[in-house]
Structures are given as structure tokens and as C-alpha cells.
Amino acid sequence: MLTGPDGRFALTDARAGTGAVVGRALEAAERAAELVRSRVEMLRAYAETTGCRRRYLLGYFGEELAAPCGNCDTCEAGATAEEPAPAGEFRAENVRHAEWGRGVVRTVEEDKLTVLFDDVGYRTLSLPVVREQDLLERC
């Protein structure tokens, strides 16, 4: 299928059988469901974080906060007083993963990073494993 300039779909291969078209539709639906699942996981992680919630939320949107805000519930409770500054490696970079494809680094912490991949949504990866196995290629 192809999307035309008017936004309508057009079948590009007249020989494509119903099974192939249904298969592609199912793959697209699964990718969309995976993206939704990853967003729910990010929301759960936000609810469970013991770090600065403002920093976490800004990281979700690709922004950086150098120090804990001092105003959110976790900061006011003193949970973030000794929180280390995020690592500078991979900061807001476009990357590619062999299996998950192209993505954008959203947050980098001391030992993990979160990447929003185009096709599979958010993935939180161990920074030491990413380094050891060279999992991400900068684009």
C-alpha cells in the first residue's frame, strides 16, 4: 500500500493476495500495540521512580534537567538529594539498533538509557551492556 498526497491509501501491487495484505495489516497492528505497551511501561516507571519526577518527565520528552528540581514529591521527601547527574554519553542522539531500528535517546542515567525506537517504542537498556556489546550505532 502507498499513501498518496491526499492521504488516501492505494494498493500498489495488484498481484498482492489477500493473505499478504492481511499479514501486513497484522504486523502494523502489532507494532502499534507494542508502542502503546512501551508507553504504559514508561508511565509505570514514572510512578515508581525514586528520582526527581521533573527530571524524569523532561527526559521523556527529550529535555535535560541538570539537577533535581527540589519541588516534586520525591525531591521534597529528600530521595533525590544525592542523585548523580546523568551521563553525557548518548545524550539526545539518533541511534540505530540491529533489531529495533532507528531511535532517539531520551534519557541517560548512571547505568541505563531509554531510547524511543520508531517501530517498537521505548526501551530501557543497560548502559554497560550497550557499551560492551556495541548495541547502538550513532546515526
Q: Per the domain annotation, does 9 fall within a domain?
A: no
| Domain shared by 77 and 92, yes or no | no
Give the pLDDT of residue 66: 79
| Domain shared by 20 and 30, yes or no | yes
Number of structural domains (the chain) is 2
Amino acid, res. 25: A
What distance, in Å, lies between the first and last C-alpha atoms of the chain?
Answer: 28
What are the residue ranges in the chain where pLDDT is below 70?
A: 1-5, 7, 10-16, 81-89, 91-92
Q: Per the domain annotation, does 125 fall within a domain?
A: yes
Give the pLDDT of residue 130: 92
| Domain shared by 80 and 105, yes or no | no
This prediction has a pTM of 0.63
Angle between helices 18-48 and 53-60 (to 10 degrees): 160
| Domain shared by 91 and 136, yes or no | yes
Q: Per the domain annotation, does 94 fall within a domain?
A: yes
Q: Per the domain annotation, does 100 fall within a domain?
A: yes
Domain boundaries, position 74: 49-85
Q: Per the domain annotation, does 11 fall within a domain?
A: no
| Domain shared by 26 and 56, yes or no | no
Distance CA 102, CA 89 (A): 18
Distance CA 136, CA 3 (A): 31
Residues in the chain: 139
| Domain shared by 80 and 122, yes or no | no
